[in-house]
Chain A
């Protein structure tokens, strides 16, 4: 079982806004990073830190955090955003890394 909990699946209409959440006690102390993975491909970093995007990641992707919950928001979802999204952070001890179970995003 994962120390970070994500909803297994979320859907959004094309052009609308969607929030993907990640819950875990360690998120009270550590920021989450977010990764996008499309079928047959390696994951890609989309958000790190408080709300930082690597170069090349569209600004429709944003991150936030409150209490034990981190969120990835896609404002104006596009068809190409359909993918699995994983959060990642440290575990409660701070020594190990852990991934959430992943959220499958469907763009309708």
Chain B
């Protein structure tokens, strides 16, 4: 079965960077991409971007352009999301999700990781 296991909670100071990992198993990692989504406390879901695990192509949300970098390590089936210049409003649970193609449709968020809480506080 598909599993996405994320790294543990982080506490960072404003201006710092955070790197969250997402280890995939149960499918061929390079067949699909990985999406990243965040959820601030008590708020809705916000799409951050995605990366193709096949060729490393990325597509980032305009709001995060210049501050976010998504990468993959195909040797370990792991995706990474790095967010720089952290601010208090970056405090959120960060999720990775596997992309897929099913029945002729592209699914951007088929299976989800358990989430990683990133707290930005001085």
Q: Which residues of A contact B (CB under 8 A)?
A: 2, 31, 33, 35, 37, 42-45, 48-49, 52, 54, 86, 88, 95-102
Contact indicator A97/B47 (Cβ below 8 Å): yes
Contact indicator B45/A42 (Cβ below 8 Å): no
B61 nearest CB neighbor, chain A only = A96
Contact indicator A86/B44 (Cβ below 8 Å): yes
A6 nearest CB neighbor, chain B only = B44
Known contacts A48-B102, A49-B103, A96-B62: A33-B47 contact under CB 8 Å? no
Is the C-beta of B32 less than 8 angstroms from some C-beta in chain A?
no
How many contacts between A and B, using CB within 8 angstroms?
60
Q: Which residues of B contact A (CB under 8 A)?
A: 35, 37, 44-47, 50, 59, 61-62, 95, 102-105, 107-115
Which residues in A have their C-beta under 8 angstroms from that of B109? 33, 35, 43, 45, 88
